[in-house]
Homo-oligomer: A and B are copies of this chain.
Amino acid sequence: MKKRRILVVGGLAAGPSAAAKAVRINPKVEVTLFEAAETVSYGICEAPYAIAGIIQEERTLVAYTPEQLHEKKGINVKILHYVEKIVPSQHKLLVRNLRNHSVDEYEYDKLILATGSKPRCLNLENENARNVFHLSSREDTLNILNFIRIEKPTKAVIIGGGYIGMEISEALRTRAMEVTIIHRHRLPMAGLELDTRERIAEELEKNQVQFVTNAAVQGLVTGNGGKVQHVVTNRGTFEADLIILSLGVEPNAAVARDAKIRTGSFGGILTDERQQTNVDDIYAAGDCCEVKNIVTGKPMYLPLATIASRAAWVAGENAAGGRATFKGAIRAIAVKIFGLEVAQVGLSTEEAKSAKFSVVTEVVTAYAKVSIMPNAQKVTVKLILDQRSNRLLGANVYGGDGAVLRANTLGVAIQQKLTIDDIVRLDLIYSPPFAPLWDPILVAANQAQKKLDRS
């Protein structure tokens, strides 16, 4: 019997996961994965820690080489192969071999798209100068590390004050560089609550990161040696030896769109719960896709490795003949910013309002362990609730001592649609080194319940 041919496009994270799952589920499939770059299975989320030097060996970020994927997972891997076109009517791909520029055809029974995301650009002259970097591939990581090693930059400008901007600013401060973040809003990390963002701005300042607010980049001015020397903005001009662009990412879905695969309002591929696209025999997973927000029931764009992995397993299993489903995500994210733990689960106040919930919020700052224990730190819990259903819709948790892991507990509450009455009844641990008699979660919930009762 002929084996079922599964082709996978994209090798960074979701691709290898989907491919490995397909082989695991059904040994009677033949899986070939195409990747345009040289590296597959790369831990891009750990890259800031490699750049900081906290992870000393960058190569440990490579989970599997192409050879290992073949030997250990049974996947045929073709690196430096760029998929130019999908022809659904003929169940085939046109793939350019970047080594010799030939284009070959590959037929599939099932196709899995895991084309990932691409970093947003400034669209300014000199954006490709040799001291200007994105951070979205192994090549980027290696280039930044090489540049730091050889050119020993002392002044870094980070353009974009989101998630990656935060991590990179800490990484470069760890290397004792002067760090400036140029950001288009008043506060870093849009999407978090205002008070959380203010606390983050404070943490940046405390750690000597210059945060330039409400700034638009107008030009990148080169000096000697083809390097950008000045970043010109409406808020002043900033000298730089090293520039990192962290402007966010967008779905890399052009090849899918060309094949009439449906994309959503965020530009990501739309799939059903089985990760199937609107086109027969084509699945998609990872950062090229939109994902269902479990709280609103609507699609969102949230390029996270957790979501990519789960969706990839489902795509791989189904492409191999299984029947798996991925029900969506609540959004569960965290970031360490110097001494500050920051986590968000579920909806923001703004999102909850847009989704027509009747929003009530409560913020509480409380000790994360028994206050008289040495080094007791505080955490702040902000709960975002719906007044009609009394359900928890979202939360921010920030501070020290287990702020992030506490967010997971609230995440479960959000995912399981618990009401405030359920949450105040949660039986949480009290143990002096770990948590006070009333965990900050319960302190916040008790306060929120009173507010909901009054309103």
Q: A-side interface residues toward B, CB under 8 Å?
A: 43, 45-46, 49, 54-55, 57, 60-61, 294, 304-307, 309, 327, 329-336, 341, 343, 345, 370, 372-374, 402, 404-409, 411-413, 415-416, 418, 422, 425-435, 437-439
Given A412-B426, A427-B415, A428-B306, is A46 in contact with B434 using a C-beta cutoff of 8 Å? no
A55 in contact with B372 (CB, 8 Å): yes
Find the B residue at minimum CB distance from A401.
B405
Is the Cβ of B411 less than 8 Å from the Cβ of A305?
A: no
A334 adjacent to B372 (CB under 8 Å): no
What's the minimum C-beta distance from A383 to chain B, rounded to whole angstroms? Answer: 15
Distance to closest chain B CB from A428 (angstroms): 5
Judge whether B431 and A334 touch: CB under 8 Å.
yes
- Nearest CB on B from A404, distance (A): 4
Q: Give complex CA distance A25, B309 in Å.
A: 50
Q: Quick one: which of B404, B428, B433 contacts A431, CB cutoff 8 A? A: B404
Taking the closest CB of chain B, its distance from the CB of A409, in whole angstroms, is: 5
**CB–CB B306/A432 < 8 A:** no
Q: Is B418 in contact with A416, judged by CB distance below 8 angstroms?
A: yes
Shortest C-beta distance, A270 to chain B (Å), equals 20
Which B residues lie within 8 Å of A304 (CB)? 430
A447 to chain B, nearest CB (A): 14
Instruction: Determine whether the beta carbon of B413 is less than 8 Å from that of A372.
Output: no
Contact of B428 with A332 in the complex, beta carbons under 8 Å: yes
Given the complex of chains A and B, what is the CA–CA distance between A430 and B374 in angstroms? 29
A373/B54 in contact, CB under 8 A: yes
Whole-angstrom distance from the CB of A210 to the nearest CB of chain B? 24
Q: List 14 A-B contacts (CB under 8 A).
A: A43-B372, A45-B432, A54-B374, A57-B372, A304-B430, A306-B427, A329-B427, A332-B427, A333-B429, A333-B431, A405-B435, A406-B408, A408-B429, A411-B428
> A427 to chain B: which residues have CB within 8 Å?
294, 306-307, 329-332, 345, 411, 415
Which B-chain residue is minimally distant from A55 (CB atoms)? B372
In the bound complex, CA of A451 to CA of B305 (Å): 26
**Contacts A427-B332, A428-B332, A428-B411 known; A370 to B437 CB distance under 8 Å?**
no
Q: Which of B294, B329, B341 contacts A434 (CB 8 A)?
A: B341
For A439, what are the chain B residues with a Cβ–Cβ distance below 8 Å? 408
Query: Are B373's CB and A430's CB within 8 A?
Result: no
Complex: A345 Cα to B408 Cα, angstroms = 16
B411 and A408 contact, CB distance less than 8 A: no
Contacts known (A370-B46, A415-B426, A422-B416); A335 close to B431, Cβ less than 8 A: yes
Complex Cα distance, B428 from A402, in Å, reads 14
Q: Are A430 and B336 in contact (CB under 8 A)?
A: no
**Contact assessment for B415 and A49 in the assembled complex, using a CB-CB cutoff below 8 Å:** no
Closest Cβ neighbor of A344 among chain B residues: B429
Bound-state CA distance A329–B405 (Å) is 22
Q: Which residue of B lies closest to A446 (CB)?
A: B313
Give min CB distance, A243 to chain B, whole Å: 24
What 10 A-B pairs have minimum CB-CB distances, sorted nearest first? Answer: A405-B405, A334-B431, A336-B433, A404-B434, A60-B372, A334-B429, A332-B429, A330-B427, A332-B427, A306-B430
